[in-house]
Structure 1
Amino acid sequence: MRCEICGKRIVGKPIKTKIDSSVMDVCKECSRFGKVQREPRKPRKSPVKRRPARSRGPEPIYEVVEDYGKIIRAERESRGWSREDLAERINEKVSVINRIESERMEPDIKLAKKLERLLNIQLLEKFEGDETDKIEAGGFRGATIGDIARIKRS
């Protein structure tokens, strides 16, 4: 290997040196023109043995119940809270509460769980259907082009 500055033949390992924002392999004499770069340390093996993460199985699928806006509004009003009070208690904007109560926006799962805990109501229900059982069992197969072609022929 040759020095990238002077061109001399380098015997042994070259010295990585940063010169004007470029890292070069240079000889010992030319390394004084820049900053010598250290080799990154090799990570040591951890003496602690780690266990593989356990799988808990498939996560349940939740859906927001119908008339969620009416349920939230009724409970909020029964407690005598304004929309501003509710928004402050769950750290959300008042506009979000307005849209949820008017059902122009469906709350995501995280927000629905916050509302459930605070208002002691049920907004989420587990989605249970025949298709989820088939998917979990590995027996579900989506429609293929061949299935569609057969449907059109009949």
Structure 2
Amino acid sequence: MECEICGKPVPENNPIRAKIEGSVMVVCKECSKLGTVQKAPPKPKYVKQNKGKKPANTRKRNYSRNDEPSEELIEDFSFEVRKAREAKDWSREDLGRKINERVSVITRIETGKMTPDTKLTKKLEKALNIKLLEKVDNVDLNQFINSSSGERTLGNIMKIKRK
């Protein structure tokens, strides 16, 4: 394990966690002086048994989100919504009534001041008969890290100013 600031080795059996600039990081002893050392969370004394129920870890669904492509909103969604609404010759009030939303929400979406959530996006797609969500394959971030340099740390990127 390496210090997240300077990259020096940190003992794995007793890592130091320090809050520096609002972020909790695993750091070496020297870098821990740059912030406040955080106490380790207390370990539970006993584990409560679930009588008559399956253990909590077997009730969860076991699938990986990395395998399936995710959906993202298209870049020019506001233009597409407005263009489709105008093609149907609907006012913002008409579209709002069709999808059960306020006119102000439709206005903010069309001007790009609001990004609709998935539920609202699906309502817009159905009412306007357009495609706003596109499937995006997950990117493996490891391909962008130079294998010869090892792990990236803050120390690789910035210069530390000592007091």
* Structure 1 length-normalised TM: 0.51
Structure 2 match to 1:72: 81
Structure 1 letter corresponding to 2:111:
S
Structure 1 letter corresponding to 2:76:
D
CA distance in 1, matches of 2:116, 2:86: 19
Task: List runs of 5+ in structure 1 lacking aligned partners.
Answer: 1-42, 136-140
Task: List runs of 5+ in structure 2 lacking aligned partners.
Answer: 1-49, 143-149
1:89 aligns with 2:78: no
Structure 2 match to 1:147: 156
Alignment RMSD (CA, Å):
3.5
1:57 aligns with 2:61: no
Contact 1:70 1:101 in 2 (8 A): yes
Contact 1:62 1:109 in 2 (8 A): no
CA distance in 2, matches of 1:81, 1:67: 20
Structure 1 match to 2:122: 113
Contact 1:65 1:125 in 2 (8 A): yes
What's the secondary structure of 2:156's corresponding residue? helix
Structure 2 match to 1:100: 109
Structure 1 vs Structure 2: percent identity of aligned residues?
Answer: 45
CA distance in 2, matches of 1:126, 1:146: 36
Change (3 A) 1:142 1:98: farther
Structure 1 match to 2:131: 122
Matched residue pairs, number? 102
